[in-house]
Amino acid sequence: MTDPRRTIPRTDTLLAEPRIAAAVRTLGRGLVKAAVVAAQERARGGEIPPDAVAEAVLAALPVAVSSLRPVVNATGVVVHTNLGRAPLSPAALEAVVAAGGATDVEFDLATGTRAERGRGALTALAAAVPGAAGVHVVNNNAAALLLCALALAPGQEIVVSRGELVEIGDGFRIPDLLASTGARLREVGTTNRTHVADYTAAIGPDTGFVLKVHPSNYRVTGFTAEAGVAELTGLGVPLVVDIGSGLLTPHPALPGEPDAAGTLAAGADLVTASGDKLLGGPQAGLLLGDATLVARLRRHPAARALRVDKLTLAALEATLLGPEPPVRAALAAREDTLFLRAEALSTALAAEGIDARAVRSTAAAGGGGAPGVELPSAAVSLPAWYAEPLRRGDPAVVGRVERDRCLLDLRTVRPADDPVIDGAVRRCG
């Protein structure tokens, strides 16, 4: 009797199997070959029969080359840090795909010579905030602050209120970031109250700049006092304001949230912000303000280490010029429209015998800003056990569990994804 292991298909034969050959084209030979070898190994060990090897290879292959899985954000947190913050608009995604090949990011196609890197994105940013004479874009807001400290306060002091020594998340602390450059932090005032006089008393020949930081993830209430941007101008040193969220102009749904245009109009010399929070674009650090200061930042040697790639520049330009990105749409969605969507989904699911109901819910802007601002919303409420299979599905749907119910909050879900949610819930049953 022949040993069945001798009939295990050869590597060449398996790689020629049409479905496996197709996988080689999308996933690459390395990944597929490793799956082939592993499946042959299982057959040799008697774990699977030789005629099941091809199926075993296909079952073991990843869905895509990237391990990052697409997620439908049904948490009700508009800017969800753990879900990659702002989802890009379709226009921004298209721009990323186009820029992914060779592109004229630093080249003038008319003259055939070198051109300013990312000029399209920079022009769009300057046009969005006419009050900014100079603009620059770096890797993220942390990089923007780092560059300010390196270029504007080398071996000097940065004057900052004790009420604004912010930890953003995952242990990231702005004071530590600034101190890592060798600049010294000159803390003024107290946790709850800081006055203009505290700043003026601290400013001297060693001062690099005054920094104001927007407490984007907490609020100080009660007996509080803060020196506003307008009060801190004309102190003889640059005033840098980290507004955090990246709102370029005021947003009606978020009245307390500072914006770049307003902060510059109030007298800030430089504003720093994130690109992937409430602006709704790619991860980026925006620097806007005084042309001379921005030129100093751009010329600093570290600017090269903090610069953004062509994909970011493409996505940022498309976010600034193109249609409303998902974050902005989520903020603008009307409560009654959201409830109608929740009702439509729940009714369809209930008709299948699923315990689904439309409920009122409260969404939030998230780590991106506007702490304490509640956004009225609507959700599909399901038994809590749905949360896990929904998370494990493809695409993953991430809701939140509240009082033993799994809520799929529709404020953070694009209407086009409602059928995706419908299908995902049915598959859990």
Ligand X SMILES: *Cc1c(COP(=O)(O)O)cnc(C)c1O
C-alpha 136, offset from chain centre: 19
Q: How far apart are CA 121 and CA 297, in angstroms?
A: 17
Q: How far is the CB of 152 from ligand X (least distance, A)?
A: 17
C-alpha 399, offset from chain centre: 18
Cis peptide leading into residue 250 (ω within 30°):
no
Nearer to ligand X, 239 or 342 (CB): 239
Q: Which two tokens stand for residue 83?
A: 């879900």
Site for ligand X in 280-299 (CB under 6 A): 285
Q: In b/e form, how buried is each residue of 8-33, taking b as 16+ CB within 10 angstroms?
A: bbeeeebbebeebeebbeebeeebbb
Q: Are 271 and 241 spatial neighbours (Cβ–Cβ below 8 Å)?
A: yes
Q: Are 394 and 69 spatial neighbours (Cβ–Cβ below 8 Å)?
A: yes
Q: How far apart are CA 148 and CA 40, in angstroms?
A: 57
Residue 319 touches ligand X, criterion: CB under 6 A: no
Q: How far is the CB of 180 from ligand X (least distance, A)?
A: 14
Nearer to ligand X, 151 or 211 (CB): 211
Sort strands 405-409 and 400-402 into parallel, antiparallel or unpaired: antiparallel
For CA atoms 71, 421, 326, 62, give the dihedral sign: positive
Continuous segment of H or E residues that includes residue 160:
strand 157-161
Most distant CA atoms of the chain, gap in Å: 96
3 state DSSP class of 106: coil
Interface map 214-233 toward ligand X (x if CB under 6 A): x-x-----------------
Taking CB under 6 A as the criterion, the residue among 242, 259, 417, 418 binding ligand X is 242
Kindly indicate which of the ranges 4-12, 136-144, 298-306, 420-428 contains the residues binding ligand X, using the contact rule CB under 6 A: 136-144
Nearer to ligand X, 166 or 227 (CB): 166
Kindly indicate which of the ranges 208-216, 258-266, 307-315, 333-341 contains the residues binding ligand X, using the contact rule CB under 6 A: 208-216
Kindly indicate which of the ranges 122-130, 140-148, 220-228, 393-401 contains the residues binding ligand X, using the contact rule CB under 6 A: 140-148
* E strand residue ranges, 245-353: 270-274, 285-289
Nearer to ligand X, 96 or 243 (CB): 243
Nearer to ligand X, 128 or 166 (CB): 166
Residue 142 touches ligand X, criterion: CB under 6 A: yes
Q: Which two tokens stand for residue 297?
A: 């930042």
The single residue listed with the structure tokens 């102009």 is: 249
Task: Give the number of residues in contact with ligand X, rule: CB under 6 A.
Answer: 13
Q: How far apart are CA 367 and CA 321, in angstroms?
A: 25
Nearer to ligand X, 20 or 160 (CB): 160
Q: How far is the CB of 79 from ligand X (least distance, A)?
A: 9
Nearer to ligand X, 140 or 161 (CB): 140
Nearer to ligand X, 165 or 196 (CB): 165
Residue 274 touches ligand X, criterion: CB under 6 A: yes
Give me the residue whose beta carbon is nearest to ligand X: 244
Q: Find the radius of gyration of the CA atoms of the chain.
A: 26
Kindly indicate which of the ranges 87-95, 147-155, 213-221, 388-396 contains the residues binding ligand X, using the contact rule CB under 6 A: 213-221
Q: How far is the CB of 174 from ligand X (least distance, A)?
A: 6
Kindly indicate which of the ranges 126-134, 209-217, 329-337, 392-400 contains the residues binding ligand X, using the contact rule CB under 6 A: 209-217
Q: Which two tokens stand for residue 101?
A: 């090949």
Q: How far is the CB of 396 from ligand X (least distance, A)?
A: 23
Q: How many CB atoms lie within 10 A of CB 340?
A: 14
Q: Are 150 and 180 spatial neighbours (Cβ–Cβ below 8 Å)?
A: no
Taking CB under 6 A as the criterion, the residue among 121, 213, 247, 297 binding ligand X is 213
Residue 140 touches ligand X, criterion: CB under 6 A: yes
In degrees to the nearest 10, what's the CA dihedral of 273, 146, 122, 276? -40
Taking CB under 6 A as the criterion, the residue among 9, 175, 244, 289 binding ligand X is 244
Q: How far is the CB of 95 from ligand X (least distance, A)?
A: 20
Taking CB under 6 A as the criterion, the residue among 168, 210, 227, 254 binding ligand X is 168
Residue 361 touches ligand X, criterion: CB under 6 A: no
Residue 40 touches ligand X, criterion: CB under 6 A: no
Give the residue from 377, 364, 376 showing the smallest Cα distance to 327.
Answer: 364
Residue 257 touches ligand X, criterion: CB under 6 A: no
Which positions touch ligand X (CB under 6 A)?
A: 140-142, 166, 168, 174, 213-214, 216, 242, 244, 274, 285
